[in-house]
Each structure stands twice: as C-alpha cells, then as structure tokens.
Amino acid sequence: MKKYLLMAGISALAIACGGNPSEKKAEDSKATTEAPAPAPEPAAQDDKGIELIAASDCLTCHKVNEKAIGPAYVDVAKKYTADDATIATLAGKIIKGGSGNWGEVPMTPHPQVTEDDAKTMVKYILSLKNQ
C-alpha cells in the first residue's frame, strides 16, 4: 500500500512540475549556452558524504561524536589532516579495510565503494574536526 501511495505522490509531483513546454525550451537553450556548473560547495560535498555513509554499513561501527566498535568520526578528524595524501590513504582503508591505528578490532573492507565515493566520505569525516 505504501508503495502505491509513494508512486501516486511521485506521479503527481512529476505532473505538477512539468511546466509550460515553451518555457522548458527556453530553459534548455539557455542551459546549452551557459558556462558549466561550478564545483560543488563544501556543504553539498558534506551532504554527499553523509548520504554515502548512511547508505553503507559505516554507522554499524562508527558514530559521529562517540566511540562505538570503531572510533568516533570527530576523533578521526582530530587525528588526521585534510590533505590529499591523507584523504587517499583513509579512502584506501575504507575500501581495503585495516587495523592497528585504533586498536585490535579490524575495519572490514568495503570493495564495493568507489575511490571517489570513499574520498567524499573521508572529506566529510575530516570536516568534523571543529565539532
């Protein structure tokens, strides 16, 4: 039942957002003549990082402000700098797993996570340094 209500809501939204076809053509032609979109703002990158973390199993072992099975994200942010080499190293740990830096419990590997997504996750985690 929920699926049908959700589909009906999405359909209604799509119909309502259809707009005037002549306005749509004007927007489309305008879009092709404008410069490419700028790089995402830091807040947008944080949102993407949060989404990626929420969609994975990260929150099973990590919490933002408190230690769980693994370290709190704020503690990770305090320990590491947000330079490219560190981001690449930590992204590799997400993908390949690892142990020893935070105790004996190993972090399980996540080979399904792309390098770019892992880096986005790390950048979000490191942005928590001042919390």
pLDDT at 25: 45
Burial class (CB in 10 A: 0-12, 13-18, 19+), 93: middle
How many folded domains does the chain comprise? 2
75 and 28 belong to one structural domain: no
CATH number, domain containing residue 64: 1.10.760.10
68 and 22 belong to one structural domain: no
pLDDT at 51: 94
pLDDT at 43: 60
Series of mean pLDDT values for 10-residue runs along the chain (131 residues):
41 41 45 48 72 94 94 96 96 93 91 97 93 71
The rounded distance, in Å, linking the Cα atoms of 7 and 97 is: 39
**Widest distance between CA atoms in the chain:** 63
20 and 70 belong to one structural domain: no
59 and 119 belong to one structural domain: yes
For 93-124, the DSSP string reads HHHH-B-SSSSSSPBPP-TTS-HHHHHHHHHH
pLDDT at 10: 45
Domain with 71, as residue range(s), is: 43-130
Number of helices and strands in the chain (H, E): 7, 0
pTM, two decimals, is: 0.65
Whether 37 is in a domain gets the answer no
